[in-house]
Structure 1
Amino acid sequence: MPSLGRLHLITDTRPGRDPLAVLRAALLVAAPELVVQVRVEDTATDRQAYDLTRRVLDLCAPYGVTCLVNDRLDVALAAGAAGGHVGADDLPVAAARRVLGPAAVLGATAREPGAAVEAVAAGASYLGVGPCHATTTKDGLPPAIGVPGIRAVAEAVGVPVIAIGGVTAADVPALRAAGAYGVAVVGALSGAADPARAATELIGALAC
């Protein structure tokens, strides 16, 4: 299985955002501690998801950066991504593992210790845990679990815990102290005036 970076960049494909420009900026300063997770809007076609994934893979390849696909595991396989990530409403983790095979990276979403333990037992390579804070980048999220929620999950499992949901560089020290291996971000980079600087700050905080 590929090594897992500590900064997970989730593509922001909302109108007015340029996920590839943000990725290019992040790659310059954050590789090899970067993982890219391709996430598209629910209205995007499989072809659109595939085309974006292939473009992301082409950008990541020279840096050796791992690329995953959120939810659409068929797209992950077809495009040649390193694996995928499944949320609470996607395929069950055990089914996703069967689809991707034993060598792929498989992330799963969890927000409390019981579900986290079950996901790891079913084959999750790492866990995306949150939302840590309130965020506007995705609709329909449950209430924020905060740093204590991250700590509870991190103490229950032996795989990397990636904190997600409204995370900024200022939050990283407390999250790392709570046991988070790394963080996943959307708006902290896609909404930044200078994505490269924002990525540099996040990487610096994660290295401490």
Structure 2
Amino acid sequence: MSASQWRQEEKLRQLLSVYLIMGSNNCLRSPMDVLEAAIQGGITMFQYREKGSGALVGNERFALASQLRDKCRECGVPFIVNDDISLALALDADGVHIGQEDEHAAEVRRRIGAGRILGVSAYDLPEAEAAIRNGADYLGVGPLFSTQTKEDAKAASGLGAVALMRQQGIRMPIVGIGGITSANAGQVVRAGADGVSVITAITHASEERSATEALRNAVERGLRLRTEGGVS
């Protein structure tokens, strides 16, 4: 499937279901082993985010990114690069995810073209509306819960951030971010998100495959309950 096909809105909603974000410094064992187990468990999208203390740089960073991309491509999982547009283009990644402190979304869209996925982090309604105007394909909303994984993370916004966006008419695909586990993933999708993105809920699990399966089951159960309860 091409990146342009992945950008179709309904398909993208499905791909955001269980979204693993990971760099080498997030893993307790080999990143390739973690990714393989997570794919077996059912992740639907993968983001390479090599940031923070102990992150790889230079050739080592590129080499790992290439290996992870190849595994994703082999298994039909979209491969997204966090923030680094040049790396994404060099790897022919399926898309890019940027935060509010990164390059402007409109400029990123210009650089990556129309065929690649563009995700933008949004903390509140104004940031979400700006991301949509500037070419985002999906929103990463949060942090919804307290998290220590991102060293400069904002205070948790709570599930109300997602609910408010839906109430105000935002229909763009949304993935919840920040502090999400299998215990609260169902709440995230019931609030209006299409899926959840996680780091340590998978990368620090004793069995990454089982942890992924638990997340996927929680998301699917939450979506069913949302549909039955009439939540849009």
TM surpasses 0.5: yes
Q: Distance in 1 between matches of 2:50 and 2:74?
A: 23
Gaps in structure 1 of 5+ consecutive residues:
none
**Contact 1:12 / 1:190 at 8 angstroms: preserved in 2?**
no
Q: Between Structure 1 and Structure 2, how many residues are aligned? A: 206
Please, which of 18, 23, 28 is the counterpart of residue 7 of structure 1? 18
1:63 equivalent to 2:72? Answer no
Change in Cα spacing, 1:49 to 1:151, as seen in structure 2 (3 Å) is farther
Question: 1:17-166, aligned counterparts within 5 Å?
Answer: 17=28, 18-31=30-43, 34-42=44-52, 44-156=56-168, 157-166=170-179
- More displaced 10-residue stretch of structure 1: 195-204 or 149-158: 149-158
Q: 1:125-174: CA deviations, max 9, x gaps? A: 10111111111111111110111122123444221111011101111221
Q: Distance in 2 between matches of 1:15 and 1:64?
A: 23
Q: Distance in 2 between matches of 1:153 and 1:47?
A: 41
Deviation, 1:52, is: 2.0
SS at match of 1:74: helix
Runs of 4+ in 1 over 6 A off after TM superposition: none
Give the structure 1 partner of residue 227 of structure 2: none
Q: 1:159-192: CA deviations, max 9, x gaps? A: 1111011101111221111100111000100111
TM-score, normalised to structure 1, is 0.93
The structure whose Rg is larger is: 2
1:176 equivalent to 2:182? Answer no
SS at match of 2:50: coil
Q: 1:10-36: CA deviations, max 9, x gaps? A: 0132276332221110111205xx100
Q: 1:69-110: CA deviations, max 9, x gaps? A: 001011011011101001111101101101100111000010
- AA aligned opposite 1:197: S
RMSD over aligned Cα, in angstroms?
A: 1.6
**Contact 1:109 / 1:128 at 8 angstroms: preserved in 2?**
yes
- More displaced 10-residue stretch of structure 1: 156-165 or 64-73: 156-165
Q: Distance in 2 between matches of 1:53 and 1:175?
A: 29
SS at match of 1:183: strand
- Determine what percentage of the aligned residue pairs are the same residue: 32
Gaps in structure 2 of 5+ consecutive residues:
222-232
SS at match of 2:103: coil
